[in-house]
């Protein structure tokens, strides 16, 4: 049985099985209650991410996680994938913004995890369930935390003639003790595509741009704006613009939020990857990806959450040309393995799904995979919930060449093999 929200996931986590059931939760779309005093909202799993903020806007509140698909993606899917978004650098991922969930186990038992207190006794199963990709239970209700809208926001746009300088600027801002609400980077191809699409005023000759959003009270924002402006200049920015008003700030962000469809206008197809690396490795990894692009003969556009090192390279290809899809997939796999090599991970917010099973074999050792399978078996002994996703079988890893299985014996024989 595969639980499915809006189907906006990019790693194949909600793909159905030929012999299974697809449990579509989009009709469970009620906002059950809003508690202004506790700053929480109880919602069903089919409620769209953006709907929550729209429902509490009149109270001066909002829900912080804002994935690019927030107009369509559901909160149940957000919990399953532990989604983030542009503002996760300061406000965290889904796991940091939910207080309680209700799930139905494979046995049909309704279980409540978390609560209204700052802490609840027992194991932190709420965190375990968040990001479990539908493999441990079916989410039927979520209590989210709401935040007060900041008093003011300010957006800066900085242009660079070298992506390594932009990467250094990111590290310099964070090391100065300033945590922006959002800190995004786009490379030249992405800049040009976005500017041609939405006319956000981006400098099309720049090798990279940084978008930095600061929020808080007026005094704090003014102080940080001056500090960030100085850091950007000393880091090598060729131009720094501070939004003159809220509308211009929105325009700056419009290009970033439209980057994916903008790239879709310049290529018949593209393959969006999702890996996370240490910030200090940004320049190195971007250079490596440029070399890979030449090796595979495929262009790449980079649009990503620079503040936390969450990369979203877009590999451009044409599926109508024989061999290009396979080259794009191989290119993407190499990017993920590069992320592992520099001390990062194969996912930041898109999950593993079916897409990254082989790379799980690279990132994790036998002992770690055994523990993943043990947790799965504890919740779902017959492996009926979303089987074949997120956690590779040891047999698959052996075939991939990442490990060896001695004497052909597999731990946890009760689990269905894929």
Segment 69-91 mean pLDDT: 96
CA distance 20 to 96: 33
Residue 261: per-residue pLDDT = 93
Q: Predicted confidence band at 403 (pLDDT cuts at 50, 70, 90)?
A: very low
Residue pair 3/23 in contact by the 8 Å Cβ criterion: yes
Tokens of 146: 């709401």
Tokens of 25: 């939760």
Which of 3.30.70.2740, 3.90.320.10, 2.30.30.60, 3.90.50.10 would CATH assign to domain 267-355? 3.30.70.2740
Fold (topology level) of 152-261: Alpha-Beta Plaits (3.30.70)
Residue 120: per-residue pLDDT = 78
Segment 273-289 mean pLDDT: 93
Domain boundaries, the chain: 2-148, 152-261, 267-355, 358-408
Fold (topology level) of 2-148: 3.30.465
Q: Of 133, 71, 92, nearest to 307 (Cα)?
A: 92
Note the pTM of the prediction, 2 decimals: 0.91
pLDDT digits (tens, 9 = 90+) for 300-317: 999 999 999 999 999 999
Q: Do domains 152-261 and 267-355 have the same CATH topology?
A: yes
Q: Predicted confidence band at 220 (pLDDT cuts at 50, 70, 90)?
A: very high
114 HSE (CA, 13 A, CB side): 22
Segment 29-36 mean pLDDT: 98
State yes or no: pLDDT of 408 exceeds 60.
no
CA distance 225 to 269: 38
CA distance 34 to 294: 52
State yes or no: pLDDT of 205 exceeds 80.
yes
Residues 6+ apart with CB under 8 A from 373: 391, 411, 412, 415
pLDDT digits (tens, 9 = 90+) for 116-125: 877 778 889 9
Residue 119: per-residue pLDDT = 74
Q: Predicted confidence band at 11 (pLDDT cuts at 50, 70, 90)?
A: very high
Q: Predicted confidence band at 17 (pLDDT cuts at 50, 70, 90)?
A: confident
Minimum mean pLDDT among 316-320, 345-349, 354-358, 398-402: which range? 398-402
Segment 128-140 mean pLDDT: 98
Residue 401: per-residue pLDDT = 67
């Amino acid at each position: 049985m595969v639980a499915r929200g809006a189907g906006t996931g990019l790693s194949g986590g909600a793909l159905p099985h030929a012999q299974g059931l697809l449990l579509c939760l989009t009709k469970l779309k009620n906002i059950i209650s809003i508690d202004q005093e506790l700053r929480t909202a109880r919602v069903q799993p089919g409620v769209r991410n953006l709907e929550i903020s729209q429902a509490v806007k009149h109270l001066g509140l909002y829900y912080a996680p804002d994935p690019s698909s927030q107009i369509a993606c559901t909160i149940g899917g957000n919990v399953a994938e532990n989604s983030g978004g542009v503002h996760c650098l300061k406000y965290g991922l889904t796991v940091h913004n939910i207080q309680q969930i209700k799930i139905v186990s494979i046995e049909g038992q309704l279980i409540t995890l978390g609560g209204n207190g700052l802490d609840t006794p027992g194991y932190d199963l709420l965190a375990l369930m968040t990001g479990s990709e539908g493999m441990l239970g079916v989410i039927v209700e979520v209590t989210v935390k709401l935040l007060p809208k900041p008093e003011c926001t300010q957006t800066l746009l900085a242009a660079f003639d070298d992506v390594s300088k932009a990467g250094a600027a990111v590290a310099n801002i964070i090391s100065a003790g300033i945590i922006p609400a959002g800190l995004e980077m786009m490379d030249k191809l992405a800049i040009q595509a976005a500017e041609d699409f939405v006319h956000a005023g981006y400098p099309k000759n720049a090798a990279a741009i940084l978008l930095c959003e600061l929020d808080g009270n007026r005094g704090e924002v003014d102080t940080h704006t001056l500090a960030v402006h100085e850091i950007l200049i000393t880091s090598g920015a060729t131009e720094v613009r501070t939004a003159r008003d809220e509308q211009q700030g929105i325009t700056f962000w419009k290009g970033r939020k439209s980057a994916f469809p903008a790239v879709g206008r310049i290529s018949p197809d593209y393959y969006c990857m999702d890996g996370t690396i240490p910030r200090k490795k940004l320049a190195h990894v971007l250079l490596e990806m440029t070399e890979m692009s030449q090796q595979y003969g495929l262009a790449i556009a980079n649009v990503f959450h620079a503040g936390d090192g969450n990369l979203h390279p877009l590999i451009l290809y044409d599926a109508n040309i024989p061999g290009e899809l396979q080259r794009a997939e191989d290119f993407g796999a190499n990017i993920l393995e590069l992320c592992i090599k520099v001390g990062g991970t194969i996912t930041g917010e898109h999950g593993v799904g079916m897409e990254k099973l082989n790379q799980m074999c690279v990132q994790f050792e036998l002992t770690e995979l055994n523990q993943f399978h043990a947790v799965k078996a504890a919740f779902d002994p017959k492996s009926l919930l979303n089987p074949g996703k997120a956690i590779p079988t040891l047999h698959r890893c052996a075939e991939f060449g990442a490990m060896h299985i001695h004497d052909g014996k597999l731990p946890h024989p009760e689990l269905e093999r894929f």
